[in-house]
Amino acid sequence: MPRFILEHLTKYTYPSPVKNSANKIMLFPIADEYQELVKQKLIITGNPLIETYRDYYGNEVGSFTYTQPHLQLSIESKIEVVTKKQELPKSTLSAEEQWETLKKAYHNSLLIDYLKQEEFDKLKEVEDIVKGLHLNDYDTLKAVEELNKYVYSNFKYIKGITEVDTTLDEVWKLKAGVCQDFAHILLVTLRMTGIPARYVSGYVCPISEGYRGEGATHAWVEAYLPELGWVGFDPTNNCIVSDLHIRLAVGRSFRDCSPVRGTYVGTSNHELEVKVNVSYQDGHSFEESNTSIVHPVKEIPVGENSYRTYMQMIQQQQ
């Protein structure tokens, strides 16, 4: 079983002191039969107390505040994780029986949220394309693979062409984006066919495959399939998720899984730097660095309650 050591650094730098920084982090790897967290160390500016809880989707979430005036906020996570590949058994149900079974998901309280469709202007256009794929002719696993391949083949992977708040309509028009955009388009098509689907935030850690998104924060999709349960699909790389993928959080979309977000009191101008370093059993490592500058929209008066501001620090997944 592969063993990975990951270092994930998120650093905010401000031109003038800010204070009352309140943050939420989703940097705790999911622990289940396919993924074991061996150890984790969090290093945060000011060494604040981190309170953890489970959110609605079962993710471990940490929250902390740093009240002192500061010019920089650094959040570093160091983890050691062992992963195991999910083996998919052969279904005993016919394709028709699988699709009939999925219809019951609309009455399952644990799945209904993952069937809710996000509305956007081009939804009918997407629906016409999906209908043209005749997915009901396949079993459900093959149907998801076809949709995964469609997104991979019809969208270009271009870093920096979209932002975290880029709409589905814009992504559909561009036919390009990064992993979170690929994941969101696949979510739309899966839910359109009646397959529960959820967004996954994490990392992809290739050794020789040369995956897109390697050595950085990554995103993909899990589909709920009869007899198989949740199965991961990576539309950015047109593959079924393997033991080279490390999961941090799941939700309906990126908004439920953002690795770092928060509010603070002070200038809205800041620089964001994100670094991810992956080390393998053989000592080989891969590092990805991304720096962006957030230009001010307005000054937030010092003294205003930080919870009342609308400034959110969101790390974009590449």
Beta strands 60-66; 35-44: pairing state = unpaired
Q: Which residues pair with 75 in a beta bridge?
A: 10, 44
Phi and psi dihedrals of 41, rounded to 5?
A: -130, 130
For 100, residues 6+ apart whose C-beta sits below 8 A from its C-beta are none
Reference 12, options 317, 314, 241, 318; nearest CA is 314
In this structure, what token pair is assigned to residue 158?
């271009």
DSSP-assigned states of every residue in 94-115: -HHHHHHHHGGGGG-TTTGGGG
Predicted local confidence at residue 218, as pLDDT: 93
The gap from C-alpha 293 to its chain's centroid, in whole angstroms, comes to 22
Predicted local confidence at residue 208, as pLDDT: 61
Predicted local confidence at residue 10, as pLDDT: 95
Reference 21, options 312, 262, 299; nearest CA is 262
Predicted local confidence at residue 230, as pLDDT: 97
Residues of the chain with pLDDT under 50: 292-318
In this structure, what token pair is assigned to residue 62?
């940490």
Distances (CA, A) of 206 to 213, 229, 235, 243: 9, 25, 16, 10
| Domains in the chain: ranges and CATH | 3-83+257-308 (2.60.40.2250), 95-253 (3.10.620.30)
Predicted local confidence at residue 33, as pLDDT: 94
Alpha-carbon span 226 to 92, nearest angstrom: 10
Distances (CA, A) of 294 to 17, 106, 154: 16, 41, 31
Instruction: Write out the H or E segment, with its range, that includes residue 244.
Output: none
